[in-house]
Amino acid sequence: MPTLNPATEPIDTAPHTLPSNHRLVVVTNREPYELVQENNHYRLNMTTGGLVTALEPVLNTDSSTTAVQGLWISWEGATPLQPEQRTALEEHKGELPYTVATVPLTKKEITYYYNGFANDLLWPLFHYFVSQCNFTESRNWPNYVSANQKFADAVMANAQPGDWTWVHDYQLLLVPQLIREASPQHRIGFFNHIPFPSYELFRTLPYRRELLRGMLGSDLIGFHTRDYANHFLKCVAKLLPNEATVDMATSQVRTDGRVITVGAFPISLDVATLQQQASQPAMQAQAEALRANYERLGVSFLGIGVDRLDYTKGIIERLEALEAFFIKYPEFKRRVQFVQIAAPSRAKVGTYQTLRDDVEQTVGRINGRLAEGTWTPIQFFCRNFTKDELLPYFMAADFAMVTPIRDGMNLVAKEYCAIQQENRGALILSELAGAADELPEAFVVNPYSQHRMEEAIYNVLTLPSDEKQSRMAACREQVESRDIHYWVNSYLAAFQQAVVARQAV
């Protein structure tokens, strides 16, 4: 079997419905919808984050031509539901275009499995932030194991013969093996949404072998980039030499009498739906009004940053690069407005509480230092925007700064390109985001280099517009041709091949 790398190689991407009467079972930690109370009634709101944004159209038979019938298994949410809320959830579930099943986690599991092992150890380690890692083992690991067991149990409790079970992300690394133990013939796919670190980093984890074995319960293991896939294969070769054989050429692992396929599948967006939303006259009018408001204040260039509030996203480094830019090029003061929109996230993890304070202080310090008249260089919104609120900013902005310190993929970069239908905007993109592999025509920067970021800002403001347009056109065409349907089609095609490969052994 050839090495799977749809980022660079053609692969069968004809729309892949699963065999008839078969079902896709998506398993994620985060619930796709949360219950929101408004006045006296409840409604369901889509949750913020890359994973839900990407997966929703796969199962959403209302919005997609390649959607498949499915079940979505996830936790119930960070706060256990009160009886009244549970009733409301049951009533509203029917509005979703797919079936959902929830996994109730105890407060202890949420503290130690989710906030602890997943978000205070795996997340920073997989993003190369070793100094942020909390290696406390005594409660975090047992709760990670028990929570993973609950997800595996939920899969088994809901299982039907035609299921293709697709487990997602670093919170659930043990689930594939736990399902395999309960049901050896189960079809199991896994996808990791964050980077997979190099061996030298991964080996620092106390439970590194258990985690690899957990993932190897799958038939197909997917990553965003070939580099992440190779890191994983090298970790298996180094850490499980007596129980697994790795073939780097075919990107396969043999263990436990099975073949496991490993591949790169760069995630993307439901581009057509996003473009359709952006082309609504009301949305266009909002974008124009937004621009006009800034222009009235003398602003010629609008820049944006849109992120979950996370230290991996490089928000402070970006703001400091803007500060350095205004000091070096004072002629752009008053003429450039930067808007940073950040969605609060993981507020129960200590590093995230201090991050919000740090960003607010940085914004205050920079504005205090540089503000002139009515102009403050940075506007900061710290809340969830709806897509209708967010899109006008994407449309109005002359440039976007997507400059994470490390990021598995980064969908904001692709969202910004997708809606530049006139190729107007410019994207400044970190080379340490997975998206940089696919978007080399963006203004690619090293997020650790303030100097490079300053120069990139200068370039996007001063280069001739035809050069910027041709670079954006290349980025947009890439995003359009490798959209979410391409991602799901290529993953499901490879999943079916991987199950055949496993059964052939």
Rule CB under 6 A: is residue 307 a binding residue for ligand ADQ?
yes
> Per CB under 6 A, which region of 28-36, 303-311, 360-368, 465-473 contacts ligand ADQ?
303-311
Beta carbon nearer to ligand ADQ, 240 or 445 = 445
Q: Could you tell me the two tokens for 294?
A: 């800034």
Distance of CA 343 to the CA centre of its chain: 14
Residue with Cβ nearer ligand ADQ (47 or 469) = 47
Across 330-481, the runs of DSSP E, i.e. the strands, are: 336-343, 378-382, 399-402, 426-430, 443-445
First-residue to last-residue Cα distance in the chain: 14
Q: Determine if 172 is a binding residue for ligand ADQ (CB under 6 A).
A: no
31 contributes a contact to ligand ADQ by CB under 6 A: no
- 16, 127, 186, 193: which one is catalytic? 193
Q: How many residues of this chain interact with ligand ADQ, rule: CB under 6 A?
A: 25
Contact 403, 447 (CB under 8 A): yes
**Is residue 268 a contact residue for ligand ADQ (CB under 6 A)?**
no
Non-local (6+) Cβ contacts of 148 within 8 A are 113, 172, 173, 174, 175, 178, 214
CB of 380 to ligand ADQ, least distance (A): 11
Q: How far is the CB of 244 from ligand ADQ (least distance, A)?
A: 26
Tell me the closest approach of the beta carbon of residue 467 to ligand ADQ, in angstroms. 27
What six digits make up the tokens of 489?
């089609």
Q: Is position 16 annotated as part of the catalytic site?
A: no
Could you say which residues in the range 41-80 bind ligand ADQ, by CB under 6 A?
A: 48-51, 53-54
Q: Which of 168, 407, 483, 485 is labelled catalytic?
A: 407
For this structure, is 407 an active site residue? yes
Residue 304 binding ligand ADQ, by CB under 6 A? no
State the DSSP H helix or E strand holding residue 332, giving kind and residue range, or none if neither: none
DSSP state of 48: P
- Of 164 and 265, which CB lies nearer to ligand ADQ in the complex structure? 265
Residue 218 Cβ vs ligand ADQ, minimum distance, rounded to whole Å: 17
Of 252 and 286, which CB lies nearer to ligand ADQ in the complex structure?
Answer: 286
Residue selected from 16, 193, 318, 502 as contacting ligand ADQ according to rule CB under 6 A: 193
Residue 21 and residue 409: Cα distance in Å, rounded? 33
59, 24 Cβ separation under 8 angstroms: yes
Residues 6+ apart with CB under 8 A from 243: 255, 256
Q: Which of 308, 452, 471, 485 binds ligand ADQ (CB under 6 A)?
A: 308
Q: Per CB under 6 A, which region of 8-16, 56-64, 304-312, 318-326 contacts ligand ADQ? A: 304-312
Q: How far is the CB of 87 from ligand ADQ (least distance, A)?
A: 28
Q: In the range 104-163, which residues lie near ligand ADQ by CB under 6 A?
A: none
- Residue 438 near ligand ADQ by CB under 6 A: no
233 binds ligand ADQ, rule: CB under 6 A: no
Report if residue 488 touches ligand ADQ, rule: CB under 6 A: no
Residue 384 binds to ligand ADQ (criterion: CB under 6 A): yes
Encoded tokens for 59 = 């199962």
Q: Which residues 6+ apart lie within 8 Å of 199 measured at CB? A: 231, 234, 235, 238, 239
Q: Output phi, psi for 158, to 5 deg.
A: -100, 5
CA 356 to CA 33: how far, in whole Å?
24
User: Considering just the CA atoms, what is the radius of gyration of the chain in Å?
Assistant: 23
Shortest distance (Å) from residue 270 CB to ligand ADQ: 11
CB 322 within 8 A of CB 338: yes
Given strand 336-343, what is the order of strands in its sheet?
378-382, 336-343, 301-308, 399-402, 426-430, 443-445
Nearer to ligand ADQ, 198 or 250 (CB): 198
- Reduced to 3 states (helix: H, G, I; strand: E, B; else coil), residue 248 is coil
Q: Which of residues 403-422 bind ligand ADQ (CB under 6 A)?
A: 407-412, 415
Q: How far is CA 472 from the centre of its chain?
A: 22
The CB-nearest residue to ligand ADQ is 50
Distance between CA atoms of residues 401 and 172, nearest Å: 31
| Nearest approach, Cβ of residue 385 and ligand ADQ (Å) | 4
Residue 320: CB atoms within 10 Å: 17
Catalytic site residues? 193, 407
Residues of this chain that interact with ligand ADQ (CB under 6 A) are: 48-51, 53-54, 193-194, 267, 306-308, 341-343, 384-385, 390, 407-412, 415
